[in-house]
Amino acid sequence: MRIAMIGQKGMPAIFGGVERHVHELAVRLVKRGHKITVYSRPWYSGPDRIKNIEGVQIKFLPSIHTKHLDTISHTLVSTIHAILNRYDVIHYHGVGPSLLSWLPRIFTPKTKVIVTFHSIDRKHRKWNWFARLALWIGEWTACNFPHHTIAVSQTIAQYIRDLYDVEALLIPNGAPECQKTLKIDQLEQWGLKHGSYLLLVSRLIPHKGIHYAIGAYQSLKKNQAELIKDIPLVIVGDGYYTGQYVKDLKMSVANDPQIIFTGFQTGEALQQLYSHALLMIHPSDNEGMPITVLEGMSYGLPILVSDIQEHKKLIRMPGHNFIRGDVQSLIERLAGLLQKDTKELQNCGMANQERALNYYGWPNIVEQTINLYTMHDADSMIQIA
pLDDT, one tens digit per residue, over 24-59 is 999 999 999 999 999 999 998 777 788 999 999 999
The conformation of residue 114, written as its DSSP 8-state character, comes to E
Give pTM, 2 decimals.
0.79
Judgement on whether residues 199 and 154 belong to the same structural domain of the protein: no
Percentage, residues of the chain above pLDDT 90? 69
Judgement on whether residues 273 and 305 belong to the same structural domain of the protein: yes
> Does residue 384 fall inside a structural domain?
no
Cα 274 from Cα 283, distance rounded (Å):
17
Spatial CB neighbours of 222, under 8 Å, sequence gap ≥ 6: none
Judgement on whether residues 63 and 85 belong to the same structural domain of the protein: yes
Residue 237: which of 271, 202, 205, 208 has the closest Cα? 202
Judgement on whether residues 166 and 198 belong to the same structural domain of the protein: no
> Does residue 333 fall inside a structural domain?
yes
Which domain CATH number covers 313?
Answer: 3.40.50.2000
> Does residue 122 fall inside a structural domain?
yes
> Does residue 385 fall inside a structural domain?
no
Q: Count of domains in the chain? A: 2
For helices 17-31 and 362-373, the axis angle rounded to 10 degrees is 80
Domain boundaries, position 80: 2-174+361-378
pLDDT band (50, 70, 90) for residue 275: very high
Cα 317 from Cα 198, distance rounded (Å):
18
- pLDDT tens digits, residue range 131-164? 778 888 989 999 999 999 999 988 899 999 999 9
The pLDDT score that the predictor gives to residue 384 is 34
The pLDDT score that the predictor gives to residue 226 is 87
CB atoms inside a 10 Å sphere around CB 49: 11
> Does residue 67 fall inside a structural domain?
yes
Q: Identify residue 244 by its one-letter amino acid code.
A: Q
Judgement on whether residues 296 and 348 belong to the same structural domain of the protein: yes
Judgement on whether residues 72 and 207 belong to the same structural domain of the protein: no
> Does residue 179 fall inside a structural domain?
no
Please give the average per-residue pLDDT across 327-352, as a whole number. 94
- pLDDT tens digits, residue range 303-334? 999 999 889 989 988 899 999 999 999 999 99
> Does residue 344 fall inside a structural domain?
yes
Judgement on whether residues 333 and 251 belong to the same structural domain of the protein: yes
> Does residue 329 fall inside a structural domain?
yes
More confident residue, 240 or 196: 196
Alpha helices in 253-341 (DSSP H): 267-275, 291-298, 309-314, 327-338
Judgement on whether residues 158 and 270 belong to the same structural domain of the protein: no
The pLDDT score that the predictor gives to residue 125 is 64
Judgement on whether residues 336 and 196 belong to the same structural domain of the protein: yes
